[in-house]
Amino acid sequence: MNFKKLSIAVSFTVFALYGALILSLFYYYDGAVFLETLKSSRTLFSIRLSLFTATASTIIAVIVAIPSAYALSRFRFFGRQLIDTMLELPMIVSPVALGAVVLIFFNTPTGTFIQDHGIRFIFTVYGIFLAQFIVTVGIAIRLIKAAMDEIPVRYEEVARTLGASPARAFMTVTLPLCKRGIIASSILTWAKALGEFGATITIAGSMAMKTETIPVAIFMRLASADIEGTVVLVLMLIGIGLGILYGVRLLTGRAVPV
Amino acid sequence: MPKIEVKNITGKVLKDLSLSVGDKEILALVGPNGAGKTTLLNVIAGLTDYSGEVLFDGMNMDRVPPHRRGVGYLFQDLALFPHMNVAANIAYGLRIRRYAPAVIGERVDELMNALHIAKLRDRFPYNLSGGEKQRVAIARAIAPFQKILLLDEPTANLDAQTAKYFRSELSVFLRRLEITTVFVIHDLLGAEEMADRIAIMHQGSIEQVAAPGDILFRPRTRVVSEFIGMPNILNCDECTVLSTGLVEVRSGSMRLVLPYEGTAMSKLAISPHDIYISDSKPPGPALNRYTGTITEIIPLRTVVRVKVLVDGNELLAELSRETFDEMKLAAGSNVHLIVKLRRLRYFEV
């Protein structure tokens, strides 16, 4: 077997692994339970809550990530390496641990002050936003920075000599050129937020009809040995996630050669 | 008052460099790699840090950011915006400066017609040839009514034939626009074709700034002399215009035929590598061909220089080591010389 065939075979093996896992869900699939679970107001609430919080936290994460990624991609400044390393925190620390850190923070005098006089995060929907934001923003910055690194600084220099201020050069040249990269990063960030569990349950808890996102609902069904219900929710999560990812990829598939 | 003045510039490779460029002048920066040519362009455009002074029309520009300097810059890699078509690329600077749509349309059309790229209007950069990209990038750099234009190797992406044609076209175009231009070029012949003056740069300093003829016939330093290839300088004792657009020049008892451009000349420069040496009589007409005797052989690292006495003139020719070894040349050997007609350079009186 030549190298090309071998590498393609390995990629298919990974696909088969995921495919087999998804197929195994159908062993416990029950059509009646599926419809019943789908129609229940608790499930619908979880779906709505998950879609809403994942979308909102992604928007905020991307808004924060774009300027941060630009700074890290284009400028050499004191503390750059430190920031770059810190961005890996969500990747090296498990989400539960991150959630625990947030919980601990809100039990310090500063945290208590914020809770009392600002926004109450613990065991509320805001807690879900915060959990998803903290887990995804570092990754969003990393991904968008990678997209910006691909765009030569030269385009901005040309724009500058043609009369564009640094901000306008960024808006009219760099941003449109890394649009696809930013969309791709946003999709991955959104997918990560949608599936976020550890930090969410630690900060916002698992209150039905209040802070129960789909991953939390899956955990709760599994904990109560409701396998059929778990299967339905997992299939929904997979369906929503893959469906939207695939759709956006199709929509933004047009390439602009750089 | 000079249009551009740089005074005591130090930064990156540049060492206390000063230079002034006259209004509407076309100045070439020539020199080996690493001499600081592109860095000097970046200093003028404000794209790199430096110490020293940059003045435009006597006004200090040191604190003026690149987007307010009004300097058009053609980068060597052109960097056309890949997400914009040709017309949008050219219009970019005008849009940024908020010109009225009618003015933008008119200016873009004017430049596209002048540079013969009107038919490319809706094409995207990935769909253009090297030469087409070059023209679009020049149009874009000039479009927002810039007073100064910087060109970094404007013909680097073109084949030799196209480059020669493009240089003469660009030279006419820039003179018609009356735009002060500083351009970097590695080839001295290219610089001569386009520039009013040539600045020879070496290791971050300027060795000599002068008109092309002066550089060629009166190199001031050894670096300049070596860079221009120590040309053979012949005095023109007599010029006879031939009816075929050629002129016959007599230098001592040597006769050379070269293209006639309507000007009398007092001196001729022939670069050593523009003289071919052969150990047997070459076929073809006897035009610009001579026989002579080798008086001295100067071996260098990769080439060999040979001094040949021809009709009372001593000519220096250069050939590769392989060719030299093959021909088994020695001092005293008789050889045949061919002078490349197209590469002759002459000095107007």
Indicate the pairing of strand B180-185 with strand B148-152: parallel
Does the structure show a pLDDT above 80 at B123? yes
Q: Give B264-313 pLDDT, tens digit per residue.
A: 677 777 878 788 888 888 887 778 888 889 988 888 777 888 889 888 78
All structural domains of chain A with their residue ranges: 30-252
Q: Which residues pair with B315 in a beta bridge?
A: B308
- How many DSSP H helices and E strands does chain B contain? 9, 21
| pLDDT value, residue B316 | 86
- Sign of the CA dihedral with B95 first, then B99, B104, and B107 last: negative
Tokens of B55: 């003045």
CB contact under 8 A, A172 and B140: no
A233: Cα within 13 Å, side-chain hemisphere: 27
Is A255 within 8 Å of chain B by CB? no
Q: Give B78-93 pLDDT, tens digit per residue.
A: 999 999 999 999 999 9
Is B65 within 8 Å of chain A by CB? yes
| pLDDT value, residue B1 | 64
Contacts of B85 (CB under 8 A, 6+ apart): B121, B122, B123, B124
Lowest mean pLDDT among A23-32, B177-186, B225-234: B225-234
CB contact under 8 A, B45 and A161: yes
Tokens of B130: 């090297």
User: For an interface test with A, which of B80, B81, B84 has the most A Cβ atoms less than 10 Å from its Cβ?
Assistant: B81
Task: Quote the CA–CA distance of A235 and A252 in Å, as a whole number.
Answer: 25
Task: Quote the CA–CA distance of A170 and A159 in Å, as a whole number.
Answer: 9
Q: Which CATH architecture fits A30-252?
A: Orthogonal Bundle (1.10)
Which of A30-44, B15-29, B303-317 ranks highest by mean pLDDT? B15-29
| pLDDT value, residue B224 | 83
| pLDDT value, residue B326 | 84
Please report residues of B whose CB lies closer than 8 A to that of A165. Answer: 65, 67
Does the structure show a pLDDT above 80 at B69? yes
| pLDDT value, residue B341 | 62
Which of B255 and A141 is assigned the larger pLDDT? A141
* Residue B297 to residues B302, B335, B337, Cα–Cα distance (Å): 14, 13, 15
High-pLDDT (> 90) share of chain B, %: 42
User: For an interface test with B, which of A76, A155, A161 has the most B Cβ atoms less than 10 Å from its Cβ?
Assistant: A161
Does the structure show a pLDDT above 70 at B342? no
Q: Give A206-257 pLDDT, tens digit per residue.
A: 888 899 999 999 999 999 988 888 898 899 889 888 888 787 777 666 443 3
CB contact under 8 A, B47 and A161: yes
Instruction: Work out the angle between the directed axes of helices B86-96 and B101-114 (0-180°, nearest 10).
Output: 130
Task: Quote the CA–CA distance of B286 and A244 in Å, as a whole number.
Answer: 79
DSSP B282: P
Tokens 């990038």 found at: B137
Task: Quote the CA–CA distance of A101 and A200 in Å, as a whole number.
Answer: 12
| pLDDT value, residue A252 | 66
Name the residue type at position A176. Answer: P
- Phi first, then psi, for residue A95 (nearest 5°) are -55, -35
Tokens of B76: 């060597």
Task: Provide the mean pLDDT of chain B.
Answer: 86
User: What three-state secondary structure class fits B49?
Assistant: coil
Q: Considering only residues 196 to 255 of chain B, which have any Cβ-Cβ distance to chain A shorter than 8 Å?
A: none
Q: Give mean pLDDT, residues B222-237.
A: 78
